[in-house]
Structure 1
Amino acid sequence: MSAPPEPEAGRAAWTIALRVAALLAADPHGCGGVRLRARPGPVREAWLAAFRAALGTGSPVRRMPVAIADDRLLGGLDLPATLGAGRPVLQRGLLAEAHGGVLIVPMAERLDAGTAARLAACLDTGIAALAREGLDVCLPARFGLILLDEGEADEAPPDALLDRLAFRIDLETVGIRDIAPEGEGATATEIIAPDPDTVRAVEALCSAAAALGVDSLRAPILALRVARLAALRDGAAEPGEAHIVEAARLVLAPRATRIPEAAPPPPERSERPDDAPEDGQDGADRALDDVVLEAVRAALPPGLLALLAAGRVRNASAGRAGSRAASDRAGRREGSRAGDPRRGRLDLVATLRAAAPWQKLRASARRPQQPIVIRGDDIRVARFRRRSETTTIFAVDASGSAAIERLAEAKGAVEGLLAESYARRDRVALLAFRGAGADIVLPPTRSLVRAKRGLAGLPGGGGTPLAAGLDAALLLALSVRRGGGSPLVVLLTDGRANVARSGEPGRGRAGEDALAAARAFRSEGLPALLVDTAARPSETARRLAEAMAARYLPLPQADAARLGAAVRAVAS
C-alpha cells in the first residue's frame, strides 16, 4: 500500500487548483479550458463549485452526456416543429447552448475521435457549424472545456483537445482535509502578489517551452494569455515577472517532455565598458529566461521528474484504441448516411429530417391523405461502427540457445502480458518454434488458465527455426484479420536463427530466410513487437525488428510495466 500524500503537497495542489479556477473563469474560451484529473467525489465537486462561483451566474455551464448524438451536440432541425410549420425550424445544439460559458465533459478519456474533432473545431473557430439536413447555419459557440479525466494508467483525453487547453491540474493528491474551510487559507486571487515590472514575456515563455521539450506552438500562446489574465486580476496593465512565472508553472510545466538543462553560470564580467550590453537589456532578458525556467523546473512534480529521467513520458492515446470497422447493421451507432434500406437499416428519423425542409416545395405533388412527400434521395440508413476484437499472438523462441539463456524470464514476461490481455478482454494465442518447425501451443482463446498451462508446459531445446516461427505467426495473424479481428504479434527471440525453412542447419541460409519472413510482416502491415531475449541487446534482433517494421524492446529493460506499455502502444 502506497503512503498517503503529504498534507503540504495536497494543500499546495489545492491552492494551485483554485488559482486555475479563477483564471479560467476570467476568459474560458481564451484559455481553452482545463484537464481536471480527479476521481468523482467531494474534492472534484468542491473545485467545480469554486469554479462556478468564480464564473458568476450570467455564464452558462453545460454538461455533455457521455454518448451524445450529433443532432444534440451540433443542433439541427426540430422535427415536430418543422413538420407542423411546413418550414425548417432550427434547434440549437449543446455547443451553441454553452456559448459564453463552459462545457463539462465527463469521462473525457473515452471521447471518440469524431466528437473530439468537433469540440476542437469549436475551440478554434468559436462557431458551431451546421451543414446538413438542408441547412447551412453557423451559430456562435465560444466556450471553455472542462475535461474530467478519470482514466487509468495510459488512458487520457485526445491529444487534439489537450493541446488546445491552457491548464492541466491533478487533484489525485488532494484530500478532503486539504480543502480550506470558507474564510480560511488562501483564496483564488491571493496566491501571487503582482509585480508591475514590464518584461519580454513572449521570448521567456518560448524559451521555457523549448527547454521543456514542448513542441506545440499553442502552449506559449496560452501561457501568455494566462499571464495577461493574472495581471488583469491583480490590477496590472501588463504582466510582470511573477505573472509570467505563474503562467509558465500552470501551462508549460504539465506539458514537459524532458528535464530542462541547468542554467550555465553567468560569464565573468569584463572590465571593459564596451563589452557591457546597452541599458542592461540583454542581461535582463537572460535573467528572466533563467528565472522562468528555474521556476518551471521547481514546479515539476516528483512523479513526473522520475518519468522524465527514465525517458518514459509520451503522449497517451485516448483510452483503449483498438481497431474499428464500419458495419451496416451491427455495432455502435454513429449517425446516418444516404443509402438503400435494403442494404442497411432504415433511419426513419433521419429520413424525415432530410425530407422536412422541402415539403412546401413538394406540396403540389402531395396526394390526399399523404402528410409528407419522401423521395429517394431523402432516404437515410444508419451507420454503425463495431470494435474488432484484438488477438495478441505470442511467438516464443523455445530453442536450445533461448532455453540456456533466458527462456524462464521470457515465460515470466509472457505470463504478465497474458494477464494484461485477459484484463482487456482480448484473445490470446501462443505458438512456439524449436527444432525443425513451429507449433501452435494454444489457438486464440480468452481462457487465462489454458494460456498459462500451455506456457508452463512449453519445453526448450533444439535448433532455432526462426523463419518457420515467423511464417506460422504470419499465417495465424492473417487468419485472425480475415475473421474481422485485429491481430498483434509479440515475438520473443534472440534473433539468432540456425535452421532454414527447408529444415537444413546453417546460420547463413537460416538468417536470410528469417529476414525474408520478417519482410512479409512489413508488406502485410501487421503490428508487431519484438522482445529481444538475449543477455545483452542484440544487433541481429534489432535488424530483424527493422525488417518486420516492429517495435524493438530488449528484455533486460523490459519489466512488466514496460512490456505492457509497449504492447498497448503497438496495439494503438
Structure 2
Amino acid sequence: MSSVPYPFTAVVGQTDLRLALLLNAVSPAVGGVLVRGEKGTAKSTAVRALSALLPQVDVVPGCRFSCAPGAPDPACPDGPHEPGAGAARPARMVELPVGASEDRLVGALDIERALSEGVKAFEPGLLADAHRGILYVDEVNLLHDHLIDLLLDAAAMGASYVEREGVSVRHAARFLLVGTMNPEEGELRPQLLDRFGLTVEVAASREPAQRVEVVRRRLAYEDDPAAFAIRWADEEHEVRARVVAARALLPQVLLGDTALLQIAAACAGFEVDGMRADIVMARTATALAAWAGRTSVRKEDVRQAALLALPHRRRRNPFDAPGLDEEMLDRILDGFPDEEPEPEPDPEPQGPDDGGDGDGDGGGPDGDGGGVPPQHDGPPAQEADSPEAAPDAPDTTREDAPQPSAQGSGAAEQAPVAAAEPFRTKVLSVPGLGEGAAGRRSRARTAHGRTTGSQRPRGHLTKLHLAATVHAAAPHQKARGRAGRGLVIRKDDLRQATREGREGNLVLFVVDASGSMAARQRMSAVKGAVMSLLLDAYQRRDKVGLITFRGSGAELALPPTSSVDAAAARLERLPTGGRTPLAAGLLKAHEVLRVERLRDPSRRPLLVVVTDGRATSAGVPGGRPGGTPRELSGRSARLLASEGIASVVVDCESGPVRLGLAGVLAADLGAPAVTLDGLRADSLAGLVKNVRTAVTHTASLNSVSRRAA
C-alpha cells in the first residue's frame, strides 16, 4: 500500500458522500457520518483522503492528548500545561479495528501499579489519539455493542472517562466520527443509527463513461502515486482553503426563524423520534450555508440537510429500508415562505454540489476546480471486488432466479405468499455456558456482566475482584512487615473478576417449503413465525442462516450472515411445492454447521427446524445407503443430536387429525417441539428458556409417536 494517499479531489462520483464529509470538516458539531454501501464503492478511499484536507492543529509539545496551547484541557492527565508556543502537526486520522478491545479504545489504567505502588498510570487509547482529528471505524456494524456505546458517548460528550475500581481518568476527545458499513453484513440498532449525525448511501456508478474514468484514475495512481498526487495538488489546495474559509464564516451564519420552522416541520412530518434530528439538521444547514459562502440559511440548505440527516432515523425495525420521500419533503418545505435574499453576491453561485460529474468536466486535473472536488466511484486496489465473496455476504443477484430443477419436481410450484404479521416470540437459547461474541441470547463468559467468581489474571489485569485480592493478600501481612492501616499488596495477590453475560449465537433456520406446507394461509403463518424469530435474532445480535427444502433436495438460501433483513427478503420470496425431502434439509444443516464451526468455533449454533414432520422424499445425493424417507430423516436427526447441536422443532401441523411426526423428529434431535401458537411469548404455554429442559418431555413422546408413525 502506497504511503501517498489517494487525493480526495480525484474521487469520481459519490457527491453525497463527499459533501457529508466536507460538512463535518467545516463543522464537527454536525456529529459525524455513517456511510452505507456495497463493497468496492470508494467508502474507505474517500474517508482516508479527507484528513489531508483538514487544517493543521497546534498542540502542546509532549502532550499525549493533543491539548491546544491556547486553551489546554484543565483535566488533561499530562497537565497542567504552562502557557507557551505550540507545535503544528497535521490532523490525524485514527482507525478503529473491528477486533479492538475496550482498553485499546479508551485507554488502559494500570490497576496493578495503582494498588501496589499508589501510582495513577494511564496509557492513552485511540480516543485520545483521535482528539482534534478523525476517528474512522470501518465495518462499524460488526463492532461489539459496548464499544459502539463507548465510542458514541465520547463523541457526544467530547470527553472520555476511564474508571476502574475507584480510580478514574478523564481527557478531552473531540473528533470527526466516520463509520462505514455494508448493509449485507447486518444493520446497526436504530438507537445507534440515531447517534450518527448524517448518513449517505453509496453505490457504484452504472454509467460506462464514469466507470472508465474510475479505472483510468486508479491505474494512474497505482503506476506512480507521487506523480498522481502532484497532478491533483492544486485542486486539493483549493478545497482545503475553502474548508478553512467556511470554518471562519460559520459563526456568522444566521439560522432564521423560517429555517427553524422548516426544520421542525420536516422532523415532525417524518415522525422521527426525539430532538436530535432537529439539532443535527440545524447544524448541517448552517454548515451548508457556510460552505456555499453565505451568512444565512436558505430552503435548499434545509432540504439538503434533511436528505442527509433524516433517512436513517426513520427505521422502526430491521426490515425497514432507510430512505426519505422527497416529494413529501418538498410539500412540507413549500408550506413556508423563502427567506429574504441576501444583498451581497454569493461567492459560490453553483452551491455545494458544484464540480461536475467527475468526467473531467470541472473537477478533473484540467478543469476549473469547481467548488466540490471531482468525483470518483472507484475503490483502491484493496477495496476492489474480489472473485472470492465474503462467506457471510448474501447473494443479491438471484432475487428473481427460478428454483433449481431438483427443487421443482413433484407437485406444481406455488407462488410465494406474504408473511403474516410478526409477533414477540418466546426465548430460545443454547444450553450450557459459551464464550462466543457478545449478544443477548445464551449464557456465556464475557468481559461485561455480573461477577461470578475470580481467577489469577492471564496477562494484563482489566477487571479487579477486590474481595478476592484482599483475601489472597491478608494471610501474608505479618510476613511482609505491615506497619500501617493499609494492606501490603503484591502482584501475585491480584485477582481478575470472572463475569457472566450473554452471547449471540448462529441461528440456522431449516424451513419446509414442500407441498404439504403449501396451503396459503398455513404458509403465511409459517413465514410470519420465522419472520418473528428473525426479528428476535436481530434484537439478540445473532447471526442467521436459511436452508429450505422441497422437491428432491435442499438449498442454502442464505449463508450464515449478520444481515437479518437479507434473510427476511429471501423468506418473502420463498416459493412452495413438491415433495418433502426432510433428510436432505437436515443433512444440509449438518454440513453448514460443520463449515461454520471451522470458521468461528466460539459461536454456538441453534438449529430451528420449521416443519410438520412429514418426509415423502429421500432427497439424499450421492447414492447413500437406502431406507424409507422417514428412516433417513431419523438417522439425519440423530446425527445432529450426537454432535450436541442444540435444536428446536417448530411444529407446523394443523387440522383436526394430527400425526405427531414433528414430535418424532424432535425426539430424534433431542429437542423440544413447540407449535406455532405456542411460539408466542404471550401464549399460555410455558416459556421455552432452554432447549435442554424439554428433552424429558420429548422423551416420553418417543415411543408413542414411533408407534403412531
Deviation at 1:63, TM superposition (A): 1.2
Residue among 657, 667, 689 paired with 1:499: 657
Quick check: 2:107–2:125 contact (8 Å CA) kept in 1? yes
Number of residue equivalences? 426
Deviation at 1:225, TM superposition (A): 0.5
Deviation at 1:413, TM superposition (A): 6.3
Deviation at 1:156, TM superposition (A): 2.8
Quick check: 1:109–1:157 contact (8 Å CA) kept in 2? yes
Who is 1:55 aligned against? 54
Who is 2:336 aligned against? 285
Deviation at 1:222, TM superposition (A): 0.8
Q: Are the structure 2 counterparts of residues 520 and 368 from structure 1 closer, same or farther at C-alpha, using a change threshold of 3 Å? A: same
Q: Are the structure 2 counterparts of residues 251 and 402 from structure 1 closer, same or farther at C-alpha, using a change threshold of 3 Å? A: closer
Deviation at 1:258, TM superposition (A): 5.7
**Distance (whole Å) between structure 1 residues aligned to residue 512 and residue 476 of structure 2:** 69
Deviation at 1:79, TM superposition (A): 5.8
- Alignment deviations for residues 240-261 of structure 1 (CA, whole Å, 9 cap, x no partner): 2332233223323565556366
Who is 2:213 aligned against? 177
Who is 2:353 aligned against? none
Superposed counterparts of 1:261-272, under 5 Å: none
1:340 is the counterpart of 2:453: yes
1:349 is the counterpart of 2:400: no
**Distance (whole Å) between structure 1 residues aligned to residue 510 and residue 127 of structure 2:** 43
- Alignment deviations for residues 131-188 of structure 1 (CA, whole Å, 9 cap, x no partner): 3233133332232321121x25362334333211122223432558257955569958
The residue type equivalent to 1:220 in the other structure is: D
1:226 is the counterpart of 2:284: yes
Superposed counterparts of 1:205-244, under 5 Å: 205-212=263-270, 214-215=272-273, 217-244=275-302
Residue among 591, 601, 611 paired with 1:447: 591
Q: Are the structure 2 counterparts of residues 372 and 226 from structure 1 closer, same or farther at C-alpha, using a change threshold of 3 Å? A: same
Residue among 153, 157, 180 paired with 2:188: 157
**Distance (whole Å) between structure 1 residues aligned to residue 56 and residue 25 of structure 2:** 11
The residue type equivalent to 2:498 in the other structure is: V
The residue type equivalent to 1:162 in the other structure is: L
- Alignment deviations for residues 208-243 of structure 1 (CA, whole Å, 9 cap, x no partner): 334445445322321111111222344434322332
1:26 is the counterpart of 2:77: no
**Distance (whole Å) between structure 1 residues aligned to residue 451 and residue 548 of structure 2:** 49
**Distance (whole Å) between structure 2 residues aligned to residue 143 and residue 79 of structure 1:** 28
Quick check: 2:131–2:175 contact (8 Å CA) kept in 1? yes
Quick check: 2:198–2:309 contact (8 Å CA) kept in 1? yes
Quick check: 2:31–2:155 contact (8 Å CA) kept in 1? yes
**Distance (whole Å) between structure 1 residues aligned to residue 329 and residue 41 of structure 2:** 42
1:259 is the counterpart of 2:325: yes
Deviation at 1:350, TM superposition (A): 2.0
Consecutive unaligned residues of structure 1, counting only runs of 5 or more, are 1-9, 267-281, 289-311, 313-321, 427-431, 459-471, 504-515, 528-572
Who is 1:14 aligned against? 14
- Alignment deviations for residues 93-129 of structure 1 (CA, whole Å, 9 cap, x no partner): 3223323332111221212222122223223333322
Who is 1:388 aligned against? 505
Q: Are the structure 2 counterparts of residues 66 and 334 from structure 1 closer, same or farther at C-alpha, using a change threshold of 3 Å? A: farther
Taking structure 1 as the reference length, the TM-score comes to: 0.56
Structure with the bigger percentage of helix: 1
Give the 3-state SS of the residue equivalent to 2:188 in structure 1: coil
Give the 3-state SS of the residue equivalent to 2:42 in structure 1: helix
Q: Are the structure 2 counterparts of residues 390 and 225 from structure 1 closer, same or farther at C-alpha, using a change threshold of 3 Å? A: same
Superposed counterparts of 1:301-312, under 5 Å: none
Give the 3-state SS of the residue equivalent to 1:67 in structure 2: coil
Q: Are the structure 2 counterparts of residues 347 and 441 from structure 1 closer, same or farther at C-alpha, using a change threshold of 3 Å? A: same
Superposed counterparts of 1:127-138, under 5 Å: 127-138=159-170
Give the 3-state SS of the residue equivalent to 1:36 in structure 2: strand
Deviation at 1:32, TM superposition (A): 1.7
**Distance (whole Å) between structure 2 residues aligned to residue 400 and residue 390 of structure 1:** 22
The residue type equivalent to 1:349 in the other structure is: H
Give the 3-state SS of the residue equivalent to 2:336 in structure 1: helix
Who is 2:36 aligned against? 37
Consecutive unaligned residues of structure 2, counting only runs of 5 or more, are 1-9, 58-90, 206-210, 218-230, 314-321, 340-417, 419-426, 438-444, 483-487, 528-546, 565-575, 594-608, 610-614, 620-632, 662-673, 690-709
Quick check: 1:355–1:375 contact (8 Å CA) kept in 2? no
Who is 1:94 aligned against? 126
**Distance (whole Å) between structure 1 residues aligned to residue 32 and residue 649 of structure 2:** 37
* Aligned-residue CA RMSD (Å): 6.0
Superposed counterparts of 1:410-559, under 5 Å: 414=549, 418-423=555-560, 443=586, 445-447=589-591, 457=618, 485=646, 487=648, 489=650, 491=652, 497-500=655-658, 517-522=675-680, 523=685
Quick check: 1:366–1:372 contact (8 Å CA) kept in 2? no
Q: Percent identity?
A: 20
The residue type equivalent to 1:48 in the other structure is: V
The residue type equivalent to 2:679 in the other structure is: F
1:65 is the counterpart of 2:97: yes
Deviation at 1:33, TM superposition (A): 0.9
The residue type equivalent to 2:198 in the other structure is: F
The residue type equivalent to 2:204 in the other structure is: T
- Alignment deviations for residues 392-439 of structure 1 (CA, whole Å, 9 cap, x no partner): 243567559859x99xxx9x964698413555599xxxxx9x9xxx99
Residue among 109, 121, 124 paired with 1:77: 109
**Larger CA deviation: 161-170 vs 221-230:** 161-170
Q: Are the structure 2 counterparts of residues 221 and 400 from structure 1 closer, same or farther at C-alpha, using a change threshold of 3 Å? A: closer
- Alignment deviations for residues 461-510 of structure 1 (CA, whole Å, 9 cap, x no partner): xxxxxxxxxxx9xxx9xx98x9674648495x8x6x2415799xxxxxxx
User: Larger relative contact order (C-alpha < 8 A, sep ≥ 6)?
Assistant: 2
**Larger CA deviation: 482-491 vs 252-261:** 482-491
**Distance (whole Å) between structure 2 residues aligned to residue 285 and residue 249 of structure 1:** 18
1:365 is the counterpart of 2:477: yes
Give the 3-state SS of the residue equivalent to 1:88 in structure 2: coil
Q: Are the structure 2 counterparts of residues 441 and 242 from structure 1 closer, same or farther at C-alpha, using a change threshold of 3 Å? A: closer
Q: Are the structure 2 counterparts of residues 24 and 500 from structure 1 closer, same or farther at C-alpha, using a change threshold of 3 Å? A: same
Taking structure 2 as the reference length, the TM-score comes to: 0.47
